[in-house]
A and B are shown apart, each in its own frame.
Chain A
Amino acid sequence: MKGRSMATRFITDKLGRAGLAAFGLILAAALCAPTQARAASGDVQNGAKIYNKRCWWCHGKKGAADGPAATFLVPPPRDFSMGVYKYKTSAPTTPLPRDEDLFNRITNGMPGTGMPAWNDVLSDKDRWDLVAYIKSLTDLFGKEANPPALDFGKKKMGADMVEKGKKAFQDAKCFECHGQAGKGDLTKKLKEDSGIREWPRNLTKPWTFRGGNTPEDIFSRVTNGIPNTQMNSFAAATTGNGKLSEEDRWAVVNYVMSLADDSKKVKDGVTVVKGILRDALPKDENDPAWDTAPSTAYFLVPQIIQKERFFTPTNDGLKVRAFYNAKEVAFQLEWDDRTKSMPGDPVAESIAWDTLTPDAVAVQMPIGTFTGNEKPYFGHGDTSHAVSMLYWSAGTVQAPNAAKLFDYTGSGKREEVDPKTAGFATSASYKDGTWRVMMKRTLTTANKEKVTQLEPGQYIPVAFANWDGSNGEAGSKHTLTTWYWLLLMPPTGSEVVVIPVVVFFALVGGQLAAAALMKKK
């Protein structure tokens, strides 16, 4: 019965999609024709109906960005009563976005924010009706026609444009906000016109671009700037005074796209930190040997599970590598962090809004030898399953780099263990918006019941936590991962080569012998 209803659901679903696709095609065709904005003909009443079911929770009943969810979001929802939109492709001369801009945001959502893509639950017509409705929430748009699109000029892509763009990135001083390596490691405090704090985008993670990451999208951002933020328009006839000519804007687009670092993108299904056997462990966190180990990227999500919950994270991911030898294991933890937060550091002090606390990172594994299926609760373990935590803190300028070892039997229930008992040592450095921390410890310890015992070939649950000290993160206010796995990869035995070779020669020999026999006959 259930199977049948699912099958019919499947079929109607597919038909529905095909229908939608056909509808989309017709619409696209209609759009290509030089038409007036679609929203002009949108049904405001229908838009209001959908808005009042789906959108007001964030954007507010009257569009003033004061819905119940608003205070739980960074960035906050857009205030439609102001009529200021951030991601526009209209000409730099008008403050208004094009109808297509609003439509595209509603359709595709905005990565890294609370604004989801609505194309899976709302039809094209519904989305155009919504555009008409949200435009009606301010009188800024008046009766004016859809503003003209910006001039994309002559798009140019290629290696020479990347080189050129590197220079344009300097000329336009993009680095002052986005950092020399593009990771958003700003050098000055930034705030939106509305007064709230803002962080520049990490350009090495294009999958987090909110207005899209195609060359045209980025060109639009550079040309128009991002209204309401301190990123201004860079459009000008010639390069100079922090402005860029059309060609240099395309060049900087090429450069931005060349900065993408896919190794920091979380890959579906890749959940295991694979520790590689190596006699000599890397000497520090920047040892080139690390490049030969596979890396695994994880999402960091804020602690939103237990009191005090925390909803406004800045760091979004962590990359992990590991090596081990007969005695020790070494982890390299790498994450992009816009600020080097160490109390006493002058740059960090000047950017911080709250009291500056030290950046920190932690690795958590079950205590003792992990045997069975029952893991400790992923948030600091539980009363019957303790976890061991390797904790590093940036410390202060006077006393940097503090390493600590803890046992936890639940949130807040911890006991400090002497790091020497596990030979636990750390080293760390911050460069161009990235922290790298190396943690080393022995595989096994004498106090077996106090520290995780690591055995090559065993899957051991591992979880991570991270604190950004310039974001007021301390104590239970931090980001974390759920349980993943650590596997110290056992060396592959010689049988992996020997057995296939033996099989090959046996088969060849056997066939030749059989052929000889057949010939005799």
Chain B
Amino acid sequence: MQFLKPILAIVVAYLLIKLGVPFLGSLMHPGTWPVVPSAVMKMYMAFIILGTLLSYTYSEEGYNALIGPIVDVYSNPAKAAIKFGLVFVIGAFGAFVAYQYVKPTFDPPVELRSVHPAPPSSAELWGKSFQIQSLKNPLRDDKANFAKNVEEGGAIFFKNCFYCHGDKLDGKGHFAAGFNPLPANFTDVGTIAQLTESFVFWRVGTGGPGLPGEGTPWISAMPVWHTLLSEEELWKVIMFIYDYTGYAPRVTTEVK
């Protein structure tokens, strides 16, 4: 049974790459399953098979132990049935692999987009110029009216945003499924939690069409809010989405 060992080693290595790597990845990024790309997979497997065969056939007896049973099956008349079975299975397997290569695949093109592209240095909204880097939310200083501003921001959210971004701010509004990319999930650590208020102001104010090319503005359903809301309303709704989710806006000016 010496010759089963290398086969077993190869199978284990395959499973480790095929399932183990994505599993580790899923621990690091819950909800994802990052498979190893098939081209990389093929390269790894070629090295593994080559390496295993080399190490097992290095010595004379290793070579014989590996090759002996094979020669036996192919040449021993008593094992003719097994031989023909093997011949057929190997042929069929080869045909299957060949089919996988030549069969047409129809995967639509993937549209890569940068979710948080660098904002322009300034934006022209309501006929006024805003310097994005140095922009501050003026309402944050008004501590006395904080609760009132947040509540008004909530009312703006529930008139303008919830049907996409969700009643729970989880990106699952009742019209969300019709859009791709999906509306942002504000409760996720990957959106407003890692953004500055000025960045969010720019994103909300200029919407999908305001994105630079790498942000694929042509598919974003995010409306251009400066055409529908006032400057003060924008700041209020931004305060609300932070308050409701319990995140604090990022304070550094550098944007990821």
Contact (Cβ within 8 A) B74 A514: yes
Nearest-CB residue, chain A, relative to B28: A3
Contact (Cβ within 8 A) B109 A511: no
CA distance A58 to B90 in the complex (A): 65
B179 within 8 A of A: yes
B138 within 8 A of A: no
Contact (Cβ within 8 A) A272 B108: yes
Nearest-CB residue, chain B, relative to A373: B111
Contact stretch, chosen from A22-30, A388-396, A487-495? A487-495
Contact (Cβ within 8 A) A483 B219: yes
Q: How far is the CB of A321 from chain B (nearest CB, A)?
A: 16
Fill in one digit per residue for B58-94: 1 if any A CB lies within 8 Å of its CB, else 0: 0000000000000100110000000100111011101
A271 within 8 A of B: yes
B47 within 8 A of A: no
- By a CB distance below 8 angstroms, the chain A residues around B39 are none
B213 within 8 A of A: yes
Nearest-CB residue, chain B, relative to A515: B74
Contact partner of B74 among A305, A307, A518, CB < 8 A?
A518
Contact (Cβ within 8 A) B96 A508: no
- By a CB distance below 8 angstroms, the chain A residues around B108 are 271-272, 459, 485, 487
CA distance A511 to B91 in the complex (A): 9
Contact stretch, chosen from A110-118, A144-152, A156-164, A229-237? A110-118
A21 within 8 A of B: no
CA distance A278 to B163 in the complex (A): 42
Q: How far is the CB of B220 from chain A (nearest CB, A)?
A: 9
Nearest-CB residue, chain A, relative to B179: A482
Residue with the highest number of chain B CB atoms closer than 10 Å, among A306, A508, A519: A508
CA distance A72 to B154 in the complex (A): 15
Fill in one digit per residue for A287-303: 1 if any B CB lies within 8 Å of its CB, else 0: 00000000000111110
CA distance A501 to B88 in the complex (A): 13
Q: How far is the CB of A32 from chain B (nearest CB, A)?
A: 30
- By secondary structure, the A interface counts as mixed
Fill in one digit per residue for A30-66: 1 if any B CB lies within 8 Å of its CB, else 0: 0000000000000000000000011001100000000
Beta-carbon contacts under 8 Å, B167-202 to A: 167-168, 170, 172, 174-175, 177-180, 189
CA distance A57 to B87 in the complex (A): 71
Fill in one digit per residue for B30-62: 1 if any A CB lies within 8 Å of its CB, else 0: 100000000000000000000000000000000
CA distance A120 to B187 in the complex (A): 12
- By a CB distance below 8 angstroms, the chain A residues around B223 are 304-306
CA distance A302 to B223 in the complex (A): 13
CA distance A114 to B165 in the complex (A): 12
B235 within 8 A of A: no
Contact (Cβ within 8 A) A490 B104: yes
Fill in one digit per residue for A85-96: 1 if any B CB lies within 8 Å of its CB, else 0: 000000000000
Known: A113-B174, A272-B106, A378-B218. A500 touches B95 (CB 8 A): yes
Q: Which residues of B contact A (CB under 8 A)?
A: 27-30, 71, 74-75, 83, 86-88, 90-92, 94-99, 101-104, 106, 108-109, 111, 154-159, 162-164, 166-168, 170, 172, 174-175, 177-180, 189, 208-209, 213, 217-219, 221, 223-224, 227-228, 244
Given contacts A121-B168, A511-B91, list 5 more A-B pairs with CB under 8 A.
Answer: A118-B168, A299-B177, A301-B179, A496-B102, A507-B91
User: What 10 A-B pairs are tightest by C-beta distance, nearest first?
Assistant: A301-B178, A69-B158, A504-B95, A299-B178, A518-B75, A68-B155, A500-B95, A57-B158, A10-B30, A515-B74
A-B residue pairs in contact (CB < 8 Å), sample of 15 = A53-B244, A68-B156, A69-B162, A114-B167, A120-B168, A121-B168, A272-B108, A300-B178, A301-B178, A385-B218, A503-B94, A507-B95, A508-B90, A511-B74, A515-B83
